[in-house]
Amino acid sequence: MNPAVYERFRREKNQFFRTSPHSPLLPAQKKVFAGLNYFPPNEALALEIQAEEFPQKDSIQMQTSTGDLRIYQRWGKLPFRVNNEPAELTLYYSPEHGHFFLPFMDVTSGSETYSAGRYLDPEHLGDGIFRVDFNLAYSPYCAYNENYSCPIPPAENRLKVRIEAGEKNIT
């Protein structure tokens, strides 16, 4: 995507957080909300990845921030590189919602980004290829409001590299 597309996406998301009745922000938070904070767009982290689909898609229970459990299928592995370092994430599928889900933590988690990780909603392009654009990585709603129940990335999705793209902590 070109930088103007990211800029428009970010403006629209800030407007949603500021004005929507579906925003995760409480009324007092909306009054002082100055906008979300992001890494600069990073073209090297806008990827199309050939997934290594699992022959058997086991169901797992993913712990949430409130102690609930959510059911996901382990769909496949997404191998990629970050600054010449190999990395790999497990791609999940939500039978309940009918979409792919990529929760992850990286070296920035807990310092520059939300401590319990960030999410991506990868786009299936067909033939096992997924668009994984880390510039669109977002913090779950529980980062802004503890009343939300958010899945916590499993150990297999905790990267040992920095993902310097997407949403950062609000400063």
pLDDT digits (tens, 9 = 90+) for 5-31: 999 999 999 999 999 999 999 999 999
| β-strand pairing of 99-104 with 85-94 | antiparallel
**Any bridge partners for residue 65, and if so which?**
none
pLDDT digits (tens, 9 = 90+) for 50-63: 999 999 999 999 99
Taking 90 as the threshold, does the pLDDT of residue 163 lie above it? yes
Using the predicted structure, report yes or no on whether residue 148 has a pLDDT greater than 80. yes
| Percent of residues in the chain assigned helix, strand, coil, to nearest 5 | 20, 40, 40
Output the furthest CA–CA distance in the chain (Å, rounded). 50
